[in-house]
């Protein structure tokens, strides 16, 4: 496996984990008050948009030519790190409403 393949696999694993987190949070929202449910649903929409962004970035990486990987790797890692922080913050906000 090349460095690119390993990185794309790591991104996919993270996206899968976030998908599972969203499903668990949606289920947990069922027991919340109506006000909390509305806030949770709003935050889940934000989280879903971030997941979509991560998925789009993964697709871009998959489509990048192997010979260009070294040139885009640093920027891709930086953007992914920023996205991970944003998702973590969104999950924390949702959990605060549960």
| Rounded-to-integer distance, Cα 33 and Cα 68, Å | 50
| Rounded-to-integer distance, Cα 57 and Cα 14, Å | 12
| pLDDT given at position 9 | 94
| pLDDT given at position 31 | 83
Q: Domain map of the chain by residue range?
A: 3-96
pLDDT along the chain (98 residues), means of 10: 85 95 88 86 92 93 84 86 92 87
């Amino acid at each position: 496996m090349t460095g690119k393949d390993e990185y794309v696999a790591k991104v996919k694993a993270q996206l899968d984990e976030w998908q599972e987190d969203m499903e668990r949070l949606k289920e947990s929202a069922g027991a919340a008050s109506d006000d909390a449910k509305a806030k949770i649903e709003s935050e889940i929409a934000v989280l879903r948009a971030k997941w979509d962004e991560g998925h789009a970035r993964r697709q871009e990486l998959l489509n990048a030519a192997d010979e260009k990987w070294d040139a885009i790797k640093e920027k891709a890692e930086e953007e992914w790190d920023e996205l991970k922080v944003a998702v973590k913050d969104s999950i924390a906000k949702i959990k605060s409403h549960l």
